[in-house]
Chain A
Amino acid sequence: MFTHDGWVPMRDYGEDAVDFVIVGTGAGGGTLACKLAEAGFSVIAMDAGAYWRPLEDFASDEQEQTKLYWTDDRIVDGDDPIHLGANNSGKAVGGSTVHYMMVSLRFRPEWFNSRTKLGYGADWPLEWREMWRYYREAEEALCISGPVRYPWGPQRPRYPYRAHPLNAPARYLARGAEKLGIAWSETPIATLSAPRGKAHPCVYRGFCASGCTTNAKQSVLNTWLPRALAAGAEIRDLAMAGRVETKNGRATGVHYFRNGQWRFQCARNVVVAGYAIETPRLLLNSSSSEFPDGLANSSGMVGKNLMVHLNQSVFGYSGDEIRSYKAPPSLALTEHWNYEDRGKDYHGGWCYMAPGPLPADWARTVSAKGKWGAGLLEEMSRYNHAVGLKMVGEVLPYERNRVSLSEQTDRYGLPIARVTFGFGDNERAMRTHALDFMDRALDAVGVTERWRNEEETAHLMGTARMGEDPATSVVNADCRSWDIPNLWVCDGSVFPTSGGVNPSLTIQALACRTGDRIAELAARGEL
């Protein structure tokens, strides 16, 4: 991982029963694998994707690196069908964090009780102070580079590493915020601003969404998983789980496809951590005579309340050369509208950052406004002067937005996911406010020929929500399913609400908590 042609030893458990088999090795599953292995459990974490070695396997190329994305078929429909694949989910050991943008933010404390404190969405069955501790654990594991003082929310300890220098788009964001009189900050981000162990600091190459070739990016792949291996976990790559087997009300193991054949892994506990589409798909695909509506679904909530984030942007052109291909995107942000509720005619919060699209991504963005042919070529030649702002906005949970099974099947013969999504009035009101505001922020710093990209969304949450009540939720605060005591869900799908920040840090903090809780329960003989 950290040296060319380097190898690390790994335990091989075979197919006898282990304490935990975890399906998915991303932000949720990979983190939990580490925590459980370090707590002394025998753990196998399997992933449909490959175990990449960034130093030698990754090219500096958008097209080539599509190998990191989940590109198996999924059907999208609804009023606002969402774009998945590259934009939304990964298929690799390390999950989507292998190509994520590393923005590592904490929830606003009130969001854990947004129903009682803010009057919308649903409450989490958790206390923010406890989460604050687990955020810290995750931030230390990822060696987050962040500002010395963060302008919003309750005091937090200093980030392990210092913030990065700002690139031009981030400086534009900062100036715009200053002109409009709101606070901005360097973004807490999971890429190294100084060496760490054998990992190099960030070289500002800007290909983060195509995977990081330097190991500066602190993904699950190069943080939690090396720890998991050292503690005796097995990572089984290229293993596609098709069905969780149950007997007498308990999970007994996982059927998975590897090396051309279906196999079965016995386990005393099964954790599903495939992200908010594959998790409900696997639970629904595992239906049996005992659980005809799919596993853990007595509430009927599996697959429902799918949430994304609003990820719309405003772009324009500057007289300055911006060259936003340099450095990780999103080096500066403002969370002003996550913490300020006055002046809103909608629920929820949003923040915005300074994006850094690479050529093909940029070409899709420019062409989406109806440009092609010579006009597109001409506009693309102004790439180095383009600058924009991009939001991450909270989407409310609606039962009608959901993941269900389609009648079509994939190459394994498994029904594929059908992802139905549409915005509500709340999202439309937030989008209007946010786009207007970002437009002003760009106008204030002399960006002209601005236009709005109104369609994009990012991140996936919901579909196996946690809660206090088995009738309205799938898992409890420990991510343990209400219906099947040895079946757990540990990934973005347990979010009851989405919050106005990127989700991966919260997923990892939750996984840390789940790991600790499982160890406690085991010690009390309550597993």
Chain B
Amino acid sequence: MADPFSAYDVLAKRDTPSWNERTRDVIDKRLALAIAENVLGDTQLATLRVIVARVCPDPPDRPATNTLAMIVRKIAEDEGDGYRPHTLPRTAECWRRGLDAIEDEARLRFNCGFASIEPDQADEILYAVESGKMCSELWGNLSPELFWKWRLLPDLVSSHWAQPSLWSAMGFGGPASPRGYVRLTENRHDPWEASEDAATNSSHALSQDHEE
């Protein structure tokens, strides 16, 4: 996949007026976050690692992301979102049970751990979680569909798109305070925003407005 914003790196704005002190601090910590130990078992962690890679791949030619470490931290702190269906346990228990069940599912189907199966086999299992077609008894009263829709997917994408690499790859302006934006209309952007590479720009321009 072509990266439409190849020349853009949101981190290059770190020391400009687009970032305030607090933001620099928060993002520095995020980028330095290590995978917390003793939160998940080795197998659970290996399973989660593959899930992250399959569901939220890193954009090519961008610095690696820290999504996995963020999920592990969330599990370690058993951090909630403020709501959950009553059949879904709290964050940490929910993740652990889901990871164990996915591992078991891989063993049932492919006679092999989830972390060692082929990528398309992993995807096959993930599709099955999404649509609720699971065999493992470890799921118990945990609904795979609910697990996918209320836990796995939102947790993963929320952490993944909190990564500067992903912001760069999508052309997002990134942190913006004290400096915000001036040019707000379509097809206009400030010099401190990402420019879209000409090759991928499909400008059929609804309105060629000239803002003067």
* Chain A interface (Cβ < 8 Å from any Cβ of B): 56-64, 69-77, 81-86, 88-89, 165-168, 171-172, 175, 202-207, 213-214, 318-323, 325-327, 358-360, 362-364, 367-368, 370, 372-374, 376-378, 380-381, 383-385, 406, 418-419, 445-446
Name A76's contact: one of B20, B26, B83, B159 (CB within 8 Å). Answer: B83
- List the B residue with the shortest CB-CB distance to A55: B20
Interface of B is mostly: loop
Measured between beta carbons, the chain A residues less than 8 angstroms from B56 are 372-373, 376-377
Instruction: Please give, as numbers and ranges, the residues of chain A lying within 8 Å of B82 by CB-CB distance.
Output: 69-74, 84-86, 88-89
Contact B172 A168 (CB under 8 A): no
Known: A56-B22, A84-B83. A203 touches B179 (CB 8 A): yes
B177 contacts A213, C-beta separation under 8 Å: yes
B-chain residues with CB within 8 Å of residue A70 when the two chains form the complex: 82
Interface centre among B4, B184, B196 (most CB of A within 10 A): B184
Contacting residue for A318 out of B160, B161, B206, CB 8 A: B206
B204 contacts across to A, CB distance below 8 A? 319, 446
18 A-B pairs in the complex with CB atoms less than 8 angstroms apart: A59-B25, A60-B177, A61-B26, A74-B83, A83-B83, A166-B185, A167-B184, A171-B186, A204-B181, A206-B181, A213-B177, A319-B202, A319-B205, A321-B186, A358-B172, A372-B56, A373-B57, A378-B1
Q: A199: shortest Cβ distance to chain B, in Å?
A: 13
Q: In the assembled complex, how far is the CB of residue A187 from the closest CB belonging to chain B, in whole angstroms?
A: 14
Asked if residues A214 and B157 are in contact (CB atoms below 8 Å), the reply is: no
CA distance A171 to B187 in the complex (A): 12
Contact with A377, one of B57, B130, B154 (Cβ below 8 angstroms): B57
Interface size on B, residues (CB 8 A): 72
Q: Which residue of chain B has its CB nearest to the CB of A362?
A: B161
Task: Name B's A-contacting residues (CB within 8 A).
Answer: 1, 3-5, 18-23, 25-27, 30, 54-57, 59, 70, 79-86, 90, 123, 126, 130, 153-154, 157-162, 166-167, 169-182, 184-189, 193-194, 196, 201-207
B121 CB → nearest A CB, Å? 14
Assembly CA distance A57 to B177 (angstroms)? 12
Complex formed: what's the CA distance from A175 to B186 in Å?
A: 13
Would you call B157 and A376 a contact (CB within 8 A)?
yes
Q: What is the bound-complex CA distance between A206 and B173, given in angstroms?
A: 10
Q: Which of B21, B26, B153 is the one whose CB lies under 8 Å from A64? A: B26
> Given A168-B186, A171-B185, is A205 in contact with B85 using a C-beta cutoff of 8 Å?
no
User: Shortest Cβ distance from A356 into chain B, in angstroms?
Assistant: 11
Q: How far is the CB of B192 from chain A (nearest CB, A)?
A: 12
Smallest Cβ-Cβ distance to B154: which chain A residue? A364
Contact status A380-B22, CB under 8 Å: no
Q: Are A323 and B180 in contact (CB under 8 A)?
A: no
